[in-house]
């Protein structure tokens, strides 16, 4: 595998526009007057708050505990006081708010006592738990909890660990600058993960437009002297930094949608995540800061090392937002999302902030009909037929869209980038995907409601039966003549009308009472489990009959 590179189909080559923000080294941004640390910053469960308004917190203190294993903790980025725990505007396309811990820094930056953790001696499970509680999530933008990715796959062993330093999106340079500055930490983190995954080799993929970063990593690898580390420079082509595309380029393996790459013997981490893992395990530093590129329509584009929770206005103040800015974007120009407001805080997923102006990113021209030119299919790195997806998503024909592998779409935007009809193709896919998810949620909710409803009816039925059985048992204990008399008394009018009929009715009542008494004896000694079984059988029978009934009209 040495030296041999593979390639993926499609892709585009937009102008990288990376020079401006790499001129100056990473700047550490001073703390803002208030930090807004959202609790839910990752894929998975929302952490439970561990602090209350008024509490004093220290740097690195856990303020949100992971909710279950598919979740990740949140920490205070500095020392100070919690002033509120309330919904705040999130950097999310919806413009909705979610629960955040608002901290007023005291300026001291006192550090919480470091948890001592010897990861060398700990079991892999303990290391994973530690990483979960250190809040380490994927920093490339997907924010998937990293500890979950450190489990070897089906084969029990991972052949190749890949570090993603490709950073293919235009304008974004945070990984580039980080690799230049922290090459050693990144590689040390990789070696830790290599051990956890029992990987044979570590490949670091870097696009060839970042020669300085590649050189820094090569030098660091040389210094570390581990033969398993290899820095691989790959051709620049968007989206080479997509995890699946990078895995393909470096190993030739294609990981289909919905499978874990470890099952194919590879695992892929962003370089910044690798550094975060190293810092968590070796220095006991939970994830409370990250590098954010601020670029686009600003006076001084640059990379900033900021505390998570810093309002983005603080970053734009530092970079000098130009007045003709018409919107703010989180992420790059290909996959980024428009931000709802400048008060939103920096979160773990935020790799880049772009200021857009009508000249920099002109609004798209009016959408025209698709001419089926196939440009989009040629550009799609997932080998999809984007115009078919578009066609069916637009017609809200979601089943067909899924047949054309809608969920294999990585929303890279290549198709919309090349479309001569200026169709916002990816918007249609996002719309279709979220509709499908919503429908699945609704369906699950309806299914569970149906189940509970049926269970409740069954329970009511059973209670009724039990009551009847009890009554009958009591009745049977008395002499048999009595129910007959009762029967006769109960139907005086019918007796007056027709004595014969009354006699028959009385007899039937007697027989019924007797039968019930016998049955009651039979079932009286049953255990509850047996009873439940009988009831269940009965219910099944009833349902079967019902189903057979229902079948008829068809």
Which one, 114 or 257, has the nearer CB to another protein? Answer: 257
Q: Are strands 80-89 and 97-105 parallel, antiparallel or unpaired?
A: antiparallel
Which one, 395 or 503, has the nearer CB to ligand SF4? Answer: 395
Residue 81 in tokens: 């006081």
Distance CA 386, CA 379 (A): 9
Q: Which helix (H) or strand (E) holds 75?
A: strand 74-75
Which one, 109 or 408, has the nearer CB to another protein? Answer: 408
> Which of 452, 470, 474, 482 is close enough to bind another protein by CB under 8 A?
452
The reply to whether 246 sits near ligand SF4 by the rule CB under 6 A is no
| SS3 assignment, position 141 | coil
> Which of 11, 77, 333, 345 is close enough to bind another protein by CB under 8 A?
333
Q: Which of 337, 321, 317 is nearest to 329 (CA)?
A: 337
The reply to whether 281 sits near ligand SF4 by the rule CB under 6 A is no
Output DSSP code: residue 29: P
Binding mask 336-355 for another protein (x = CB under 8 A): xxx---------------x-
> Which of 23, 372, 478, 515 is close enough to bind another protein by CB under 8 A?
372
**Cβ atoms 175, 271 nearer than 8 A:** yes
Q: Are strands 80-89 and 56-57 parallel, antiparallel or unpaired?
A: antiparallel
Residue 349 in tokens: 């997923």
- Partner in contact with 213, chosen from another protein, ligand SF4, none, beta carbon below 5 to 8 Å by kind: none
Distance CA 332, CA 39 (A): 24
- Partner in contact with 551, chosen from ligand SF4, another protein, none, beta carbon below 5 to 8 Å by kind: another protein
CA dihedral over 176, 179, 182, 186, signed as positive or negative: positive
Question: How far apart are CB 370 and ligand SF4 at their closest, in Å?
Answer: 3
Listed ranges 181-189, 281-289, 329-337, 467-475: which one lies at the site for another protein (CB under 8 A): 329-337
Which one, 364 or 420, has the nearer CB to ligand SF4? Answer: 420
Distance CA 50, CA 211 (A): 44
Question: How far apart are CB 485 and ligand SF4 at their closest, in Å?
Answer: 44
Listed ranges 65-73, 451-459, 477-485, 512-520: which one lies at the site for another protein (CB under 8 A): 451-459
Question: How far apart are CB 425 and another protein at their closest, in Å?
Answer: 9
Residue 295 in tokens: 């670029």
Cα–Cα distances in angstroms (integers) from residue 522 to residues 366, 469, 483, 516, 530, in the given order: 79, 11, 20, 10, 12
> Which of 58, 424, 461, 490 is close enough to bind another protein by CB under 8 A?
424
Please give the residues from 69 up to 108 whose contact with another protein meets the rule CB under 8 A: 90, 92-94, 96, 98
Question: How far apart are CB 335 and ligand SF4 at their closest, in Å?
Answer: 9
> Which of 198, 373, 395, 449 is close enough to bind ligand SF4 by CB under 6 A?
373
The reply to whether 22 sits near ligand SF4 by the rule CB under 6 A is no
**Cβ atoms 373, 406 nearer than 8 A:** no
Please give the residues from 21 up to 40 whose contact with another protein meets the rule CB under 8 A: 40
Listed ranges 116-124, 343-351, 410-418, 496-504: which one lies at the site for another protein (CB under 8 A): 410-418
Tally of residues, the chain: 554
The reply to whether 542 sits near another protein by the rule CB under 8 A is no
Q: Are strands 289-296 and 302-307 parallel, antiparallel or unpaired?
A: antiparallel
Query: Distance of alpha carbon 239 from its chain centroid, rounded?
Result: 21
Q: Are strands 266-270 and 160-165 parallel, antiparallel or unpaired?
A: parallel
Radius of gyration of the chain (CA): 33
> Which of 223, 371, 468, 532 is close enough to bind ligand SF4 by CB under 6 A?
371
Listed ranges 90-98, 130-138, 364-372, 437-445: which one lies at the site for ligand SF4 (CB under 6 A): 364-372
Please give the residues from 112 up to 151 whose contact with ligand SF4 meets the rule CB under 6 A: none
- Partner in contact with 526, chosen from ligand SF4, another protein, none, beta carbon below 5 to 8 Å by kind: none
- Partner in contact with 376, chosen from ligand SF4, another protein, none, beta carbon below 5 to 8 Å by kind: ligand SF4
The reply to whether 12 sits near another protein by the rule CB under 8 A is yes
CA dihedral over 390, 396, 401, 402, signed as positive or negative: positive
Distance CA 288, CA 269 (A): 18
Question: How far apart are CB 294 and ligand SF4 at their closest, in Å?
Answer: 26
The reply to whether 380 sits near ligand SF4 by the rule CB under 6 A is yes
**Cβ atoms 41, 347 nearer than 8 A:** yes
Which one, 47 or 386, has the nearer CB to ligand SF4? Answer: 386
The reply to whether 507 sits near ligand SF4 by the rule CB under 6 A is no
Distance CA 67, CA 135 (A): 12
Question: How far apart are CB 416 and ligand SF4 at their closest, in Å?
Answer: 7
Place of tokens 């989009």: 376
**Cβ atoms 82, 54 nearer than 8 A:** yes
Distance CA 38, CA 84 (A): 12
The reply to whether 390 sits near ligand SF4 by the rule CB under 6 A is yes
Residue 321 pairs in a beta bridge with 298
Distance CA 80, CA 56 (A): 6
Q: Which of 321, 325, 287 is nearest to 302 (CA)?
A: 321
Instruction: List phi, psi (to 5°) of 13.
Output: -125, 75
Quickly list H helices, 49-105: none
> Which of 200, 372, 452, 456 is close enough to bind ligand SF4 by CB under 6 A?
372
Number of residues that bind ligand SF4 (CB under 6 A): 29
Please give the residues from 405 up to 464 whose contact with ligand SF4 meets the rule CB under 6 A: 409-415, 418-421, 423, 425-426
Question: How far apart are CB 229 and ligand SF4 at their closest, in Å?
Answer: 31
Which one, 53 or 374, has the nearer CB to another protein? Answer: 374
Binding footprint of ligand SF4 on the chain (CB under 6 A): 370-376, 379-382, 384, 386-387, 390, 409-415, 418-421, 423, 425-426
């Amino acid at each position: 595998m040495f030296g041999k590179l593979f390639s993926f189909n499609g892709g585009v080559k937009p102008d990288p526009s990376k020079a401006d923000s790499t001129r100056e080294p990473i700047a550490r941004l001073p703390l803002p007057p208030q930090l807004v640390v959202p609790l839910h910053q990752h894929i998975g469960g929302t952490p439970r708050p561990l602090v209350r308004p008024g509490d004093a917190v220290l740097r690195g203190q856990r303020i949100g505990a992971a909710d279950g294993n598919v979740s990740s903790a949140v920490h205070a980025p500095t020392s100070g006081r919690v002033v509120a725990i309330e919904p705040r505007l999130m950097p999310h396309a919806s413009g909705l708010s979610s629960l955040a811990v608002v901290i007023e820094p005291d300026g001291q930056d006192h550090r919480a006592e470091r948890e001592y953790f010897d990861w060398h001696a700990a079991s892999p499970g303990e290391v994973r738990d530690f990483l979960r509680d250190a809040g380490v999530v994927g920093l490339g933008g997907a924010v998937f909890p990293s500890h979950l990715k450190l489990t070897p796959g089906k084969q029990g062993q991972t052949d190749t660990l890949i570090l993603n330093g490709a950073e293919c999106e235009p304008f974004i340079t945070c990984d580039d600058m980080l690799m230049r500055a922290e090459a050693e930490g990144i590689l040390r983190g990789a070696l830790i993960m290599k051990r956890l995954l029992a990987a044979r080799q570590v490949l670091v993929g870097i696009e060839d437009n970042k020669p300085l970063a590649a050189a820094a990593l090569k030098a660091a690898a040389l210094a570390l002297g581990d033969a398993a580390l290899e820095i691989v420079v790959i051709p620049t082509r968007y989206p080479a930094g997509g995890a699946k595309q990078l895995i393909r380029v470096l190993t030739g393996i294609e990981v289909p949608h919905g499978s874990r790459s470890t099952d194919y013997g590879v695992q892929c981490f962003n370089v910044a995540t690798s550094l975060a893992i190293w810092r968590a395990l070796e220095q006991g530093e939970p994830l409370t800061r990250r590098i954010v590129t601020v670029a686009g329509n600003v006076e001084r584009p640059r990379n900033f090392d900021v505390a998570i929770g810093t309002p983005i206005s603080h970053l734009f103040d530092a970079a000098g937002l130009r007045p003709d800015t018409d919107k703010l974007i989180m992420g790059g120009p290909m996959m980024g999302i428009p931000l709802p407001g400048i008060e939103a805080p920096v979160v773990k997923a935020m790799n880049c902030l772009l200021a857009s102006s009508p000249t920099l990113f002109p609004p798209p021209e009016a959408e025209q009909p698709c001419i089926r030119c196939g440009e989009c299919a040629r550009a799609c790195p997932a080998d999809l037929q984007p115009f078919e997806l578009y066609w069916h998503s637009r017609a809200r024909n979601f089943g067909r869209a899924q047949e054309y592998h809608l969920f294999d779409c990585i929303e890279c935007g290549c198709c919309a980038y090349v479309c001569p009809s200026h169709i916002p193709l990816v918007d249609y896919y996002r719309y279709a995907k979220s509709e499908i998810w919503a429908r699945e949620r609704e369906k699950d909710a309806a299914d569970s409601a149906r189940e509970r409803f049926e269970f409740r009816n069954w329970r009511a039925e059973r209670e009724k039966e039990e009551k009847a059985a009890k009554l009958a048992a009591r009745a049977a204990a008395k002499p048999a003549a009595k129910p007959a008399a009762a029967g006769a008394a109960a139907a005086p009018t019918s007796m007056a009308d027709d004595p014969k009929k009354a006699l028959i009715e009385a007899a039937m009542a007697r027989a019924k009472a007797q039968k019930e008494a016998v049955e009651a004896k039979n079932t009286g000694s049953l255990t509850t489990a047996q009873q439940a079984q009988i009831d269940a059988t009965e219910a099944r029978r009833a349902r079967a009959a019902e189903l057979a009934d229902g079948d008829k009209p068809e």
